[in-house]
């Protein structure tokens, strides 16, 4: 029996670098989609469900911002899906990270032709 999508907050497709630290290892990866409460991290080495990881986002001025997250699901590589893990942010995102997300989301809305009606 298939489960329904239980997300309340809309996710947006994005493709940018996000690294993570798990068990002392620094792993380079990228994102597939994101919302203000979580994201999918595309990685060949997903952490186990229930694991706390630290995500590292690029920020303006060659800075990085670290955000704590919990792995809520993961999947191995298959012929039709990317390997990776779904994570839930454990604290509110810093303003610098939100600002970068919103710039990417605005760009996607403009390119897709989906205007926001008032």
Q: Biggest alpha carbon distance in the chain?
A: 48
Whether 21 maps to a domain, the answer reads yes
Rounded to whole angstroms, how far apart are CA atoms 11 and 70? 17
This prediction's pTM: 0.71
User: Range of 79's domain?
Assistant: 12-112
Rounded to whole angstroms, how far apart are CA atoms 95 and 118? 25
Whether 5 maps to a domain, the answer reads no
Whether 29 maps to a domain, the answer reads yes
Q: What is the CATH number of the domain that holds 20?
A: 2.40.10.220
Higher pLDDT, 95 or 2: 95
pLDDT tens track for 46-89: 899 999 999 888 777 777 888 899 999 998 877 667 889 999 99
Whether 97 maps to a domain, the answer reads yes
Q: What b/e string do you get for 28-45 counting C-beta neighbours within 10 Å, with b at 16 or more?
A: ebbbbebbbebbbbbbee
Number of domains in the chain: 1
């Amino acid at each position: 029996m298939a489960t329904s999508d239980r997300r309340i907050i809309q996710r947006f497709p994005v493709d940018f670098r996000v690294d993570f630290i798990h068990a002392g290892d620094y792993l380079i990866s990228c994102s597939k989609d994101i919302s203000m409460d979580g994201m999918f991290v595309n990685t060949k080495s997903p952490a186990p469900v229930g694991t706390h990881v630290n995500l590292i986002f690029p920020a303006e001025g060659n800075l990085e911002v670290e955000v704590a997250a919990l792995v809520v699901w993961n999947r191995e590589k298959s012929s039709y899906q990317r390997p990776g893990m779904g994570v839930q942010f454990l604290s509110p995102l810093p303003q610098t990270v939100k600002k970068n997300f919103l710039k990417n989301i605005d760009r996607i809305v403009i390119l897709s032709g989906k205007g926001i009606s008032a």
